[in-house]
Homo-oligomer: A and B are copies of this chain.
Amino acid sequence: MIRVAVDAMGGDKAPQAEIAGVSQALVSLPDDFIVQLVGRPEIIEAELARHPDVDRSRLEIHEAADVIGMGEKPLAAVRKKPHSSVVVGLTLQQQGRSDAFLSAGNTGATLAASTMLLGLHDGVERATVATVFPTGGEPVLVLDGGANLDCTAKELAGFAYLGTVYMRDILGRADPVVGLLNIGEEEEKGPAVVRDAHRLLKQSPRLRYAGNIEGRDILPGPQRRIHVDVIVCDGFVGNIVLKFYESAARVFVGLVMERAPDVFERPELRELVSVLDYSTYGGAPLLGVRGVSIICHGASSPNAIRNGIRVALQAVRAGLSAHTAAEFAHREPAAQS
C-alpha cells in the first residue's frame, strides 16, 4: 500500500478542495494506496462529514496544529512551526511512515521543508519544481517553475538532469530532448549565467541537449525551430511564462467566444479547452529530493488535487527518487566541475 500524505490546510480553498480531491482520488484511481490527511482533526472531520461516501478504511488523519500561511517567509516559517501541516506531513516520510507528500500551500515552505527533512540526492545543487505545459499534443516540461528565482549555471545544468528523469518516469518519454530558454540560439546570447549554463550543458554527453531555444520554441507547432521536451530556465522566468500561458489560453478562448459564441459548443473544440486545462496535470513533483513531494497550485480545484495524488502515485511506483539518484551518480565529470 502506497501512503500519500496530503496537506489538508494549505491552498486557497483548503480544506474543501483538498478533501474533495482526496475523495475523488480514492474512488477513481487504482486502489493500491491510502491517504494520510495532515491538519487540524476537527477541521478535517467537519469537512469529511460532507463526504459520507468516502472509504475511511483508506484514510488516516495525522494531527498538525499549525499552518504556514501563503505570505510567510518559507525558511523562517518552517523552523518556527514544527507542528505545521507541511512539517508534520514531511516528517512522516522522513521517518519511513509515508511514501509521498502533497501540498497546495506555500510553495517555498514545502520546498524548504522537503529539502531539510528529506534531503537532496548527492550531486543535486538545488531542488526544483517542474511544470508540465499542456499543449494539445506532446506536453513540454518547464523547470524551474518558480521555486528558485536566482540560479547559478551549475544549478541550471542540474535542472536538465532532473527534468530528463521526470520526463522518462512520469511522462513516459524514453529519450527526452533538453533546451535552454534564452533570447536567441547563438552561443553569445543571453545573460552571463545563461551563457555559462549553455557551456556546461554542451559538455554533458549523457543529456540530449539541443542548445539555446527561444520563447517561440516552447510549444510544439509550426513556429518551432527546435523540438524539445524539457525546457530549463530560472524560476522567475519559468513562473512568469507559466502563468502567462495559463492566462493566454483562457484569453484566446474568450476572444473566440466573444466573436462566435457557438464554436466551443462543438465537442471537438470543447475537448480542446479541457486539453489545455492545467488541472489535468495537477501537481508538480519537487525534483532532486530523496523522496516524493508534490507541489500543487494554490488555487487547485478538487480535480487538480486528485491529479496531484495521481502524480504522487506515479512517482512512487516509477521510482523517480531512485532514478534521480542514479542519474546524478552517472553525471559526466565535466558537468560536475
Contact = CB atoms under 8 A, between A and B. Distances in A.
Interface in A221-257: 221-224, 233, 235-237, 239-252, 254-256
Contact of A241 (B136, B219, B221, B244): B244
Given A240-B183, A240-B215, A242-B215, A247 B259 contact: no
B251 A219 contact: yes
A149 interface: yes
A187 to B, nearest CB: 10
A73 B188 CA distance: 9
B216 A244 contact: yes
A102 interface: no
Contact of A221 (B188, B217, B247): B247
A284 B255 CA distance: 25
A220 interface: yes
Interface string A172-195: 000000000101001010110010
**What number of copies of this chain does the assembly contain?**
2
A73 to B, nearest CB: 7
A277 interface: no
Interface in A24-83: 71, 73
Name the residue in A240, A258, A266 with the highest tally of chain B Cβ atoms < 10 Å from its Cβ.
A240
Contacts of A240: 181, 183, 214-215, 233, 237, 241
A248 B248 contact: yes
A89 interface: no
A29 B191 CA distance: 40
